Amino acid sequence: MHRKIRKKRRVCKSCKTRFSGRYCPYCGAEYGQRHSLRTSGFIIVLLRFLFSVVLLAFLLFLAFASLDYVASVGNGSHTTAIAIVSSVKNALPKPFLQAYLEFKLSYLDFLFPKIIHLT
Ligand SMILES: [Zn+2]
């Protein structure tokens, strides 16, 4: 006698779709389970987030330093750059501004004039 094999019916925990089989046909969740972050996944996500923050800070620093040099050349003709730089300098905490000025004096003053004169 032939017995009919019935697949187990599931309810997806993510989207509440009823289905049978391994993957939810609506959202693709395996066995209808929500995805959970494992320990290694969490560390990778955290490292990617921290890398993004460091990269963004570096890009903002480059943009600010470029604007600072643009504002310093041209005898006050670059008024927009001067306004942006002065408002950022007012917003920055004193220790950050002091560290930037020291970094500018020791490293950037050698690099940026060469870059500006080349272009
Ligand atoms: Zn689903």
Q: Which residues surround ligand 1, an ion (CB under 5 A)?
A: 12, 14-15, 17, 24, 26-27, 29
- Phi and psi torsions of 45, nearest 5°: -65, -40
**How many A from CA of 25 to the centre of ligand 1?**
7
Interval between CA 36 and ligand 1 midpoint (Å) = 14
Tell me the backbone φ, ψ of residue 7, rounded to 5 degrees.
Answer: -75, 150
Task: Determine how many CB atoms are found less than 10 A away from the CB of residue 87.
Answer: 10
Token pair 């570096």: residue: 58
> pLDDT tens for residues 55-106?
999 999 999 988 888 888 877 788 999 999 999 999 999 999 999 999 888 8
The answer to whether position 20 is within a domain reads no
What pTM value is reported for the model?
Answer: 0.58
Q: How many domains does the chain have?
A: 1
Q: Is residue 88 part of a domain?
A: yes
Domain that holds residue 92: 55-118
Helix axes 39-72, 109-118, angle to 10 degrees: 70
Tell me if 50 is assigned to some domain: no
**Centroid of ligand 1 to alpha carbon of 6 (angstroms):** 20
Instruction: Determine, yes or no, domain membership for 38.
Output: no
- Domain annotation covers residue 23: no
Asked whether residue 25 is domain-assigned, the answer is no
- 76 in a domain, yes or no? yes
For residue 5, tell me if it sits in a domain.
no
Beta strands in the chain (DSSP E): 9-11, 18-20
